[in-house]
Amino acid sequence: VLGAAALGLVSYALIDTDWVTGALGVVAAALFVRTERRHRAPMLPPSLFAARMFTVINVVTLFVYAALGGFFFVVALQLQVVAGYSALAAGTALLPTTVLMLLLSGRSGALGERLGPRLPLTVGCLLAAGGMLLLLRAGPGAVYVRDVLPGMVVLGMGMVALVAPLTATVLAYAPQDRSGIASGVNNAIARAAGLLAVAALPLLTGMGPDAYRQPALFDAAFDRSMVWCAAVFAVAGVLSWALLRVPAAPEAALPECRMHCSLTAPPLDPGRARAETGTGTGTGKGAGAVRQRRNGGP
C-alpha cells in the first residue's frame, strides 16, 4: 500500500505540479523503505541491494526504462498529431523494434554471456539514444521509410544489445535462491521508471493541454522530449561503462528466458543453474541435470 501510494502521489504531483502531494509521496516512499527494512518477510528484500553490482544494474534499469517509457508515450502521439497517421498506423510504425528483439534477443544473450554486460549495455544504450535522435525527423509530412523507420531500426538494435545482458546481470549478482525475486524487483523498477517518466515529461518539455490540439506546439515539445530521452539513455550508457566492471560469480544463475520482445520492462525470469560441465554456459544436459538433482532426481 505504501509503495503504491508513493508512486501515485508522486505521479499526480508531476502531472498537476502539486508539490504538497509530491512531498506526501516522498514521505510514503520513506515509510515504505522503513517498513521493508524492519519486516521479517519483506516484499522488497533490502538485503538484495547489499550487493553493489545489483544496485548498479537496477540504477541502469531505472534510466533505460525511464527513457523508453517517455519515448513510446510521445512518439505514438507525434505520429498522429503532427505526422497525420491514424492510431493503427502509428502503432504499426513502432513494430520494427519489437520484431528485431524477437528475432535477435537470443543471439544477443549468448553474446552477452561471452563478453560480459559492460560492452553490450554501453553500446546498446548509445545506439538507442542515437535512434531517438534520428526520430527528430518525424515531423509534419513525415515519410515512414525515410523519416521513421531508420530511427526505429537503430533503437531496436540498441534494445537487442542491452535487454538480454541486463536481465542476465540482475540474476548474476543475486543469490540463486532469490533469483526470481531479483528479476521481479528489476521488472518493478522498470515499470515504475516508465510511469514516472510519462508523468514528468510533459512538465519538462512544456507539453501543456493545448499542445495535443496544435501540431506545431506538439512538434516542438516532441523535439525537446527526444533530446531528454536520448540524454537519459546516454547517462545509462555512461553508468554501464563506468560501473559494470566486476565479473559475475561462476555459480551465478543464468536467464531461463532466451527470446523476448518486451519494451516496457525486462522479462520476468526465475533464472536457471549453470551446468557443471566447466563451460559456464548452463545449456543442454548439464543444466537439466542440475535442475533434476535439485528436484530430488538421480
CATH number assigned to the domain comprising residue 193: 1.20.1250.20
273 confidence band (pLDDT: 50, 70, 90): low
Count of domains observed in the chain: 2
| Entry pTM | 0.80
What's the burial of 157, exposed, middle or buried (CB within 10 Å: 0-12/13-18/19+)?
A: buried
Q: Does residue 118 share a domain with residue 87?
A: yes
Mean pLDDT of 161-189: 81
* Whether residues 39 and 64 fall in one domain: no
Range of the domain at 34: 1-43
Same domain for 118 and 223, yes or no, is yes
pLDDT value at 147 more than 90: yes
Same domain assignment for residues 129 and 237: yes
What is the 3 state secondary structure string of the chain? CHHHHHHHHHHHHHHHCCHHHHHHHHHHHHHHHHHHHHCCCCCCCHHHHHCHHHHHHHHHHHHHHHHHHHHHHHHHHHHHHCCCCCHHHHHHHCHHHHHHHHHHHHHHHHHHHHHCCHHHHHHHHHHHHHHHHHHHHCCCCCCHHHHHHHHHHHHHHHHHHHHHHHHHHHHHCCCHHHHHHHHHHHHHHHHHHHHHHHHHHHHHHCCCHHHHHCHHHHHHHHHHHHHHHHHHHHHHHHHHHHHCCCCCCCCCCECCCCCCCCCCCCCCCCCECCCCCCCCCCCHHHHHHHHHHHCCCC
144 and 224 fall within a common domain = yes
Asked if the model's pLDDT at residue 162 lies above 70, the reply is: yes
Indicate the range of 28-32, 47-51, 124-128, 281-285 predicted with least confidence. Answer: 281-285
Based on the domain organization, do 39 and 57 belong to the same domain? no
Task: Give yes or no for residue 83 having a pLDDT over 60.
Answer: yes
**Mean per-residue pLDDT over the chain, rounded:** 81
- Distance separating alpha carbons of residues 3 and 40, to the nearest angstrom: 17
86 — pLDDT class (breaks 50, 70, 90):
very high
The pLDDT of residue 171 is above 70: yes
In this structure, are 286 and 143 located in the same domain?
A: yes
Same domain, 131 and 220: yes
Which candidate, 153, 171, 172, places its Cα nearest to that of 161? 153
Least confident of 58-67, 107-116, 255-264: 255-264
> Which carries the bigger pLDDT value, residue 244 or residue 240?
240
| Highest mean predicted confidence (pLDDT) among 56-65, 102-111, 112-121 | 56-65
| pLDDT band, very low/low/confident/very high, at 3 (cuts 50, 70, 90) | confident
Q: Is the pLDDT of residue 287 over 70?
A: no
Verify that 104 and 2 share a domain, yes or no. no
The pLDDT confidence band at residue 223, using thresholds 50, 70 and 90, is very high
Residue 13 has what pLDDT? 84
Give 88 or 209, the one with higher predicted confidence. Answer: 88
Categorize the per-residue pLDDT at 136 as very low, low, confident or very high, splitting at 50, 70 and 90.
very high
Same domain, 35 and 64: no
Q: Which residue has the higher pLDDT, 291 or 227?
A: 227
Q: pLDDT-based confidence at 288, cuts 50/70/90?
A: very low
For 258-267, what is the mean pLDDT?
A: 60
| Highest-pLDDT range among 64-73, 107-116, 206-215, 257-266 | 64-73
Percent of the chain predicted with pLDDT > 90: 38
Q: What's the confidence (pLDDT) of residue 108? A: 75
